[in-house]
């Protein structure tokens, strides 16, 4: 490993946000729309078209995919798998769902099960959205953890084979990236060459700004106002995805419980990491990798990130240092943040 590192000034963690350009030349105002989808705010911003219907259609596409891939929306294909009639071993799904489940299983193999899309019994037990969170019962956690094992799921064509009656799927760690990629395809097919998709901090840039400068993606200070950044990246046509301990979390008796769960113990990973940010061409890889690398911890996670072609990683440890994968420092924007 040959990682650069800097010491940040204060407690920090990374999340992403779109910053203003450097204003070299007057541009026409971008068009933008946000909607609450995928349990977060999804924003589409287009820089080289004034056609508002593109925004609406792109958000509709996002909603369609949520209805296909959500574990909690009755009628979704994932819901149908998870609520199959007892004794059912095979469930027919669309080609896209089958492919995405296959990708999720692939990251299970890559991480030796630290990343596991059959996390559903655990992720539904922990409630990170409640106003008044409670710790799940330890025995219930143990029982749920026993059900998690991605090797009990196989994909055969468009059929999902479930080798255990207890196994159920949650694509929460990978679906946003996949959907972002499809929204990007949609915009490109409709002639858009300059846009930013932001799915709750899962950012995918299409092309560059109309004046030829890169998009500036801010890395957010943790637990702070969303506009506070500690660094910014210069991004052309790439995805920037962060997994962190502060997005969906609660604190009880001074302990921070967050939503990236260890499939073996059933409890959130505690490995000294505050966040992992991944820059990659495809957002589905960035999404899967940010969660995977987080799950593996600094050393093994860095190894995994560095083994992937065209991928840059930023690990933030709880001593407030940023650890860069090889070449990742080169994407840092050197100008003062906006």
User: Which of 45, 68, 153, 176 is in the footprint of ligand ADP by CB under 6 A?
Assistant: 176
Q: How far is CA 281 from the centre of its chain?
A: 14
Token look-up 């409670």 returns 134
User: Which of 71, 148, 173, 197 is in the footprint of Mg ion by CB under 5 A?
Assistant: 173
Told to check if 234 binds Mg ion by CB under 5 A, we report no
Restricting to residues 199-228, name those near ligand ADP by CB under 6 A: 202
**Could you tell which of ligand ADP, Mg ion, none binds residue 78, using a CB distance below 5 to 8 A set by kind?**
none
Told to check if 170 binds ligand ADP by CB under 6 A, we report yes
**What gap in Å lies between CA 200 and CA 198, rounded to an integer?**
6
Q: What secondary structure letter does DSSP report for 149?
A: -
User: Which of 181, 287, 305, 316 is in the footprint of Mg ion by CB under 5 A?
Assistant: 287
Total interface residues for ligand ADP by CB under 6 A: 20
β-partners of residue 6 are: 322
**Could you tell which of Mg ion, ligand ADP, none binds residue 21, using a CB distance below 5 to 8 A set by kind?**
none
β-partners of residue 160 are: 91, 155
Tokens of 180: 């972002």
**What gap in Å lies between CA 36 and CA 198, rounded to an integer?**
12
In sequence order, the 6+-apart residues with CB closer than 8 A to the CB of 99 are none
Tokens of 201: 């901090």
* Under 8 Å between Cβ of 274 and 12: yes
Q: How far is the CB of 116 from ligand ADP (least distance, A)?
A: 5
Told to check if 49 binds Mg ion by CB under 5 A, we report no
| Other C-beta atoms lying within 10 Å of the C-beta of residue 143 | 15
Restricting to residues 293-322, name those near ligand ADP by CB under 6 A: 295
Restricting to residues 237-256, name those near ligand ADP by CB under 6 A: 243, 247
**What gap in Å lies between CA 263 and CA 295, rounded to an integer?**
10
Side-chain half-sphere exposure of 319, counting CA atoms within 13 A: 6
**What gap in Å lies between CA 18 and CA 46, rounded to an integer?**
13
**What gap in Å lies between CA 312 and CA 14, rounded to an integer?**
14
Told to check if 259 binds ligand ADP by CB under 6 A, we report yes
Told to check if 333 binds ligand ADP by CB under 6 A, we report no
Span interacting with Mg ion, options 40-48, 91-99, 170-178, 190-198, rule CB under 5 A: 170-178
User: Which of 105, 144, 169, 260 is in the footprint of ligand ADP by CB under 6 A?
Assistant: 260
Chain position whose Cβ is nearest to ligand ADP: 172
46 or 101: whose CB is closer to ligand ADP? 101
Restricting to residues 261-290, name those near ligand ADP by CB under 6 A: 261, 263, 287, 290
Q: How far is the CB of 189 from ligand ADP (least distance, A)?
A: 26
Closest CA to 90 of 136, 158, 1: 158
Told to check if 291 binds Mg ion by CB under 5 A, we report yes
Q: Is 90 exposed, middle or buried (0-12, 13-18, 19+ CB in 10 A)?
A: exposed
Residues that bind ligand ADP (CB under 6 A): 115-117, 119, 123, 170, 172-173, 176, 202, 243, 247, 259-261, 263, 287, 290-291, 295
Residues that bind Mg ion (CB under 5 A): 173, 287, 290-291
């Amino acid at each position: 490993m040959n990682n650069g590192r800097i010491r940040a000034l204060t407690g920090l963690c990374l999340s992403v946000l779109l910053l203003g350009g450097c204003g070299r030349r007057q541009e026409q105002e971008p068009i933008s729309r946000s909607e609450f989808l995928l349990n977060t705010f999804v924003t589409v911003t287009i820089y080289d078209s004034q056609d508002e219907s593109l925004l609406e259609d792109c958000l509709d596409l996002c909603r369609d995919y949520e209805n296909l891939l959500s574990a909690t929306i009755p009628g979704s294909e994932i819901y149908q798998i998870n609520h199959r009639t007892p004794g059912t071993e095979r469930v027919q799904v669309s080609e896209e769902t089958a492919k995405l489940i296959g990708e999720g299983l692939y990251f299970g193999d890559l991480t030796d099960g630290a990343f596991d899309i059959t996390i559903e019994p655990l992720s539904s037990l922990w409630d990170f959205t409640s106003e008044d969170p409670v710790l799940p019962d330890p025995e219930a956690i143990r029982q749920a953890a026993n059900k998690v094992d991605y090797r009990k799921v196989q994909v055969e064509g468009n059929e999902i084979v479930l080798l255990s009656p207890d196994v159920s799927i949650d694509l929460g760690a990978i679906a946003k990236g996949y959907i972002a990629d499809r929204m990007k395809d949609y915009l490109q097919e409709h002639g858009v060459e300059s846009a930013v998709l932001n799915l709750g901090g899962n950012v995918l840039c299409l092309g560059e700004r109309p004046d030829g400068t890169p998009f500036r993606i801010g890395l957010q200070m943790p637990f702070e106002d969303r506009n506070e950044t500690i660094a910014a990246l210069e991004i052309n046509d790439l995805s920037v995805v962060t997994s962190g301990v502060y997005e969906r979390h609660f604190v009880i008796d001074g302990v921070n419980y967050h939503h990236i769960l260890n499939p073996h113990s059933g409890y959130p990973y505690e490995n000294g990491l505050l966040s992992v940010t991944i820059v990659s061409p495809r957002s589905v890889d960035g999404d899967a990798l940010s969660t995977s690398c987080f799950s593996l911890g600094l050393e093994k996670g860095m190894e995994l990130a560095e083994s992937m072609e065209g991928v840059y990683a930023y690990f933030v440890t709880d001593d407030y240092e940023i650890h860069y994968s090889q070449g990742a420092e080169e994407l840092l924007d050197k100008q003062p943040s906006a």
